[in-house]
């Protein structure tokens, strides 16, 4: 990224940065799918304790997805006309 003035039309400033909710949503979704598949695989293999840990992490990722979606919905109401890749 070049050092210097911010390009014209760029969203966010140094004092008020652009939100990274879309990136957080992508990471949380990846974590949810990965941990859920890992939990199922570990349960099939017979590693019950590790399967429970992976399932708990999948639930945490699911809660994170819900919280992110609520925050994105709230931010969408505040700024009309601002659509994103995940909207």
- CA-CA distance, 64 to 33, in Å (whole number)? 13
pLDDT at 73: 84
Residue 8 lies in a domain: no
Residue 13 lies in a domain: no
- CA-CA distance, 54 to 36, in Å (whole number)? 7
pTM of the model: 0.69
The domain in which residue 37 lies consists of 20-50
By mean pLDDT, which of 4-13, 34-43, 77-86 is the weakest?
A: 77-86
For residue 2, what pLDDT band results from cuts at 50, 70 and 90? low
Residue 61 lies in a domain: no
For residue 31, what pLDDT band results from cuts at 50, 70 and 90? very high
For residue 21, what pLDDT band results from cuts at 50, 70 and 90? confident
Residues 6+ apart with CB under 8 A from 58: 31, 32, 35, 36, 39
Residue 9 lies in a domain: no
Structure tokens at 15: 């004092």
Does residue 11 or residue 64 have the better pLDDT?
Answer: 64
How many domains does the chain divide into? Answer: 1
Residue 27 lies in a domain: yes
Residue 25 lies in a domain: yes
């Amino acid at each position: 990224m070049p050092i210097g003035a911010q390009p014209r039309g760029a969203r966010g400033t140094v004092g008020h940065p652009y939100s990274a909710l879309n990136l957080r949503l992508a990471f949380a979704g990846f974590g949810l799918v990965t941990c859920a598949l890992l939990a199922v695989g570990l349960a099939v293999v017979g590693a019950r304790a590790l399967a429970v840990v992976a399932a708990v992490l999948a639930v945490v990722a699911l809660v994170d997805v819900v919280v992110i979606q609520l925050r994105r919905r709230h931010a969408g109401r505040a700024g009309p006309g601002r659509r994103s890749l995940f909207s």
